[in-house]
Amino acid sequence: MTSKSVSELFAITAPGLESITLGELKKLGVKGKTELGGVSFRGEAETIYATNLWLRTASRIVVRIASFHASTFHELERRAKQVPWSNFLPPNSAVRVRATCRKSRLYHSDAVAQRILEAISRAAPGVVPINGDARAADTDHDAAGDDNAEVPAQLFIVRLVDDQCEISADTSGELLHRRGYRLEVGKAPLRETLAAAMLLASGWKAVESLVDPLCGSGTILIEAALLARGIAPGLRRKFAFMDWPNFSGEKWKQVLAGGEGSLVAIGSTPRIIGADRDAGAIDAAARNAERAGVDGDIRLSVRPMSVSLDELASLARPGWVLTNPPYGVRVGDSEGLRNLYAKLGSTVKSAAGWKLGILTSDAGLSRQMGIPMRARFSTTNGGISVGFFAQEKPVPAPVRLRSRGVGGKVDGH
């Protein structure tokens, strides 16, 4: 593809985050349409650059490069020869193919991937084919299972459904949740894309305070600071499209120009506060925040949740308590969890102007909080089905009555 050609693009998301990513695209001035597992849209090279740089909740961006009928291997091979593979491959690069087959005469995904690899090798001599990645996972609709831990390679995604073959080229490289700052994680890590989805779905505003009393390695806090500062989440990483023959360094610099965000003085940034009783987790959070360039915007401390929550009433600007508490699947016991959720709810309920949002695998635990909560989205975290529940309205501030004697007016009424 050239920098001026318009391509069919697809932003892959974790299931349940499609509408949030659609909203992000809209803010970038890109019109999209939600599909199962992502959002389809159209754009030129600059759009590919900008969406990779700015989308906070997408897992990867792919460009759809071919679509054709294929009910036999001969037909698949013949049509695969016509795909412009060299447009997406630098010389002597590694290439990987992931294939999935459903309701098609060609049902063996490994065999399909092998034919595609052979077509690529003929079209772009010198490439190094890497097989063994043709897993039965629909990557367009389920990116969460691929952490790209293998040798860096250009990924092509092949989907055969009802004998219709669709081929896409990955533009992102490593999954987009890998911002580059989170080199240290806690016991139950939260993906950056999911933390960003919690922030966007809650409606948290940069002028409000944000408290995570169970912050672990600080992902929610760091994503909040990046969002508040207007810093692009992909600012400190490389993307697959940078190695394509038609990559424009000049256009990339133009897109990148606004990625640093506004250099707001630390005193005027929102109060983003995190705590955890695990000193090791707080140390990791501090180092992660420093790598993200937002360490001056976050206040961290080693202390139990109860102490952090007791501070809510003293903060000048109310806001949100957003957290990812233990689910009872990997960490914690059921009785202790019920008490923890009850403490969260009762404390926030007693703090005027504050709202609560939690990610949990158990809707029953959310009801322990005694606060009306609504599910904003459902998805998976580390293979566990989870939902994000958020409070609808903050607790109103108490009305202070000033008596003016018997028969007098109260508060000027």
pLDDT at residue 85 in the model: 96
Q: 7-170: which CATH architecture?
A: 2-Layer Sandwich (3.30)
pLDDT at residue 370 in the model: 86
Q: Which amino acid is at 290?
A: E
pLDDT at residue 136 in the model: 35
pLDDT at residue 325 in the model: 92
pLDDT at residue 183 in the model: 85
pLDDT over threshold 50, residue 401: no
For the chain, what are the domain ranges? Answer: 7-170, 192-233+260-391
pLDDT over threshold 60, residue 157: yes
Q: Is 21 helix (H, G, I), strand (E, B) or coil?
A: helix
| Statement: 192-233+260-391 belongs to CATH 3.30.450.20 | no
pLDDT at residue 142 in the model: 42
Q: Is the dihedral of CA 299, 371, 339, 312 positive or negative?
A: positive
Over range 255-264, report the average pLDDT: 77
Q: pLDDT tens for residues 219-255?
A: 999 999 999 999 999 998 999 999 999 999 999 999 9
Over range 94-99, report the average pLDDT: 96
Higher pLDDT, 304 or 1: 304
> What is d(CA 5, CA 290) in angstroms, rounded to the nearest whole number?
39
Higher pLDDT, 77 or 147: 77
pLDDT over threshold 70, residue 397: no
Instruction: Compute, in degrees rounded to 10, the torsion defined by CA atoms 369, 375, 377, 382.
Output: 30
pLDDT at residue 134 in the model: 39
Q: Report the candidate in 111, 107, 105, 112 with the shortest Cα–Cα distance to residue 158.
A: 112
Q: What is the overall mean pLDDT for the chain?
A: 87
pLDDT over threshold 60, residue 209: yes
259 falls in which pLDDT band (50, 70, 90)?
confident
